[in-house]
Amino acid sequence: MPLPFSGNPLFSSDDLRQDEIELKKLKCRKDALFLPYFKYDPATTESGDFFWIPWSTVQSVASNPDGAIFLGLTEDGSPRFAIDIGDSLEYWNHFTSSGFQGFRSVAAHLADARTAIAAQARSILKWIADHLFCSRCGFSNSVSFGGYRLECTNSTCGALSFPRIDPVVIIMITSRDNRKCLLGRGHNYPEKIISPLAGFMEPGESIEDAIQREVREEVGLPCADIRFWGNQPWPFPSSLMLGCFATAVTDQIQLNHAELAFADWFTRTELEQIFNQSEGDRIFPEAISISYHMMRAWMEG
């Protein structure tokens, strides 16, 4: 099933990304459009859609127009880019009354494949901003490959950096009779939210290894029958959520209070009650998350 931030309709190839001359030509085309970002939030219209601008406008409102990243081509071959306009809205406000909307609310409003475009742009722009200097020698990095590669400017170093993706396992644990599911809340989660357990994968781990480790760490349960369910890019800033179902060998929870603020078993009836009530001690995660969709999938059988 398509999940938020997936199903990107744009196409981009290495041949295009590595051709700097062709990318410059694409920027100047009349059908080329740019999605502006300010503090990693996209520009939107009054109706909540993306507010795309042409290259001529980019040159007027962005502090560094050459910092545009290439997102890809639409089905009709029109180029799409993204641009961080900088730390000030002075020039932007002279150009338009359209503003920048919080990324999560934009994704919730659009709720289609356009969210994948926004996620791609946000993750790459954030990665570039967070890696201005070479991690090997400390010299400044230059952006290349349409925004998907950083090159150290120190000729004796020349280290290359590539966009970082952090894999996260998220596990819908069910009882042996499949009548209950195990949900919890981390200490950093907003109050009341319950969701499947999750954790970052570590070097040398398979998905199954990471699941066994995380579940044992957090609730002391061994798991069996691990099954892949779906995956979702999560641009906060650049994770890949790997959703799986697993069966608990025993129902006896041993809560690790250092890892979780709460964990318990829930029946489908209990989940339906939580889902249908607007207020209560427990609430579902936001609908843009894979957690929400995994809970709904199990709840609906």
CB proximity list for 300: less than 8 A, separation 6 or greater: none
Q: How many domains are contained in the chain? A: 3
295 and 170 inside one domain: yes
186 and 254 inside one domain: yes
Are 269 and 179 in contact by the 8 Å Cβ rule? The answer is: no
**Residue-level pLDDT, tens digit, the chain, 301 residues:** 579 999 999 999 999 999 999 999 999 999 999 999 999 999 999 999 999 999 999 999 999 999 999 999 999 999 999 999 999 999 999 999 999 999 999 999 988 899 999 999 999 999 999 999 999 999 999 999 999 999 999 999 999 999 999 999 999 999 999 999 999 999 998 889 999 999 999 999 999 999 999 999 999 999 999 999 999 999 999 999 999 999 999 999 999 999 999 999 999 999 999 999 878 899 999 999 999 999 999 999 8
pLDDT for res 198? 97
| Within-domain flag for 1 | no
Beta bridge partners of 152: 141
pLDDT for res 279? 80
113 and 73 inside one domain: yes
| Within-domain flag for 75 | yes
Are 207 and 169 in contact by the 8 Å Cβ rule? The answer is: yes
| Within-domain flag for 9 | no
- Residue 73 burial (10 A CB sphere; 0-12, 13-18, 19+): middle
Alpha-carbon gap, residue 15 to 135, rounded angstroms? 27
148 and 173 inside one domain: no
120 and 197 inside one domain: no
32 and 149 inside one domain: no
pLDDT for res 147? 97
Token pair 């609908």 is at which residue? Answer: 287
Alpha-carbon gap, residue 67 to 82, rounded angstroms? 9
Alpha-carbon gap, residue 169 to 184, rounded angstroms? 15
Structure confidence by residue, pLDDT tens digits, 165-195: 999 999 999 999 999 999 999 999 888 999 9
pLDDT for res 73? 98
Instruction: Report how far Cα 10 is from the mean position of its chain's Cα atoms.
Output: 17
Judged by DSSP in three states, 187 sits in coil
CATH number, domain containing residue 262: 3.90.79.10
pLDDT for res 237? 94
Alpha-carbon gap, residue 283 to 189, rounded angstroms? 12
Computed on alpha carbons and rounded to an integer, the radius of gyration of the chain in Å comes to: 22
Strands (E), 145-222: 149-152, 160-161, 166-174, 180-186, 197-200
pLDDT for res 1? 57
Q: How far, in Å, are 2, 95, 288, 293, 301 from residue 180 at the CA level?
A: 25, 55, 24, 17, 11
- Residue 91 burial (10 A CB sphere; 0-12, 13-18, 19+): middle
Q: Which domain holds residue 59?
A: 14-129
- The alpha-helical segments, DSSP class H, found in the chain are 14-17, 20-28, 55-61, 90-95, 103-110, 114-130, 207-219, 268-276, 290-299
- AA letter at 55: W
Are 203 and 263 in contact by the 8 Å Cβ rule? The answer is: no
181 and 289 inside one domain: yes
250 and 178 inside one domain: yes
146 and 214 inside one domain: no
